[in-house]
A and B are shown apart, each in its own frame.
Chain A
C-alpha cells in the first residue's frame, strides 16, 4: 500500500504562472482533503472532495484556486496566476468511506515556491 502520493514534491513558479498539484489517495480511500501550511504555521483546511464532487470548499480562496477529484485519476489542486503569498506547503490527506476526517492519512506534501 503506497499511501497517499503527492507530486511534485517541489514546484517553483514565477508570478502569474499556474501551479498544478496532484494527489493520489490511499487505495480504498474515496475522500480527499487539501490543507495548506504557511511557514511557521499549522495546517489550514482548504477543501474536501469525494469522487467527482466538491463537498466543502469553505477554506479555499475565492479566486485563482480550484480543486477537482475526477472519476479516474488523481485529485488536482490548481492555482492560477500564482503570487508570492501562495508559497506554502500543500498537503493532501485521504480517508476511507464513512470515517470522515477521523482517519486521515496525509501525503508528504508539495512545496510551492513562487519567485
Chain B
C-alpha cells in the first residue's frame, strides 16, 4: 500500500523568506500523481500544485515550486517570498494512476507552517 510521510510537523519562516516543506512517499507504481494541498484556518482544502510522475520537469505555480525526485520518492514544496497568507497546514498527497485505485488520494499527516512578520 502507498504511504505518504511528512517528517516536519511544524515549520516557521520569516515573511519574504523561502521555506521548503519535505515529503516522501512509498509506492511500487511507476505512474502516479502527487499534490500539495493547503488548509488555512478556515479549514478549506486548497490545491496548491500538482505533479505527474511521468513528467521530469518540476511543476511551478507562481511562488510555489516542487522538487520532484522520483528515484528517491521525494516531493518537496518550496515557497518563495513567503507571505502571511501562506500560514496554514500543508498536506502532501499521492494518487495512483491505476484504475482500481485512481479515485483515492492518500494524504500525509501535514506540516503546520507559521509565517513570522
Contact = CB atoms under 8 A, between A and B. Distances in A.
Interface of A: 31, 33, 35, 40-45, 48, 55-56, 58-59, 89, 91, 93, 100-102, 104, 106-109, 111
Interface in B2-34: 4, 33
A64 to B, nearest CB: 21
Interface stretch (B57-65, B74-82, B97-105): B97-105
A29 to B, nearest CB: 14
A48 B103 CA distance: 7
A42 B43 contact: no
B106 to A, nearest CB: 7
A59 B43 contact: no
Contacts of A31: 103
Given A100-B102, A101-B95, A106 B45 contact: yes
Contacts, number: 56
Contacts of A89: 43
A55 B103 CA distance: 9
B103 A109 contact: no
A44 B104 CA distance: 9
B116 interface: no
Contacts of B106: 45
B104 A59 contact: yes
Given A102-B50, A108-B44, A42 B95 contact: no
Given A48-B103, A101-B103, A43 B91 contact: yes
A43 B103 contact: no
Given A56-B103, A56-B104, A43 B109 contact: no
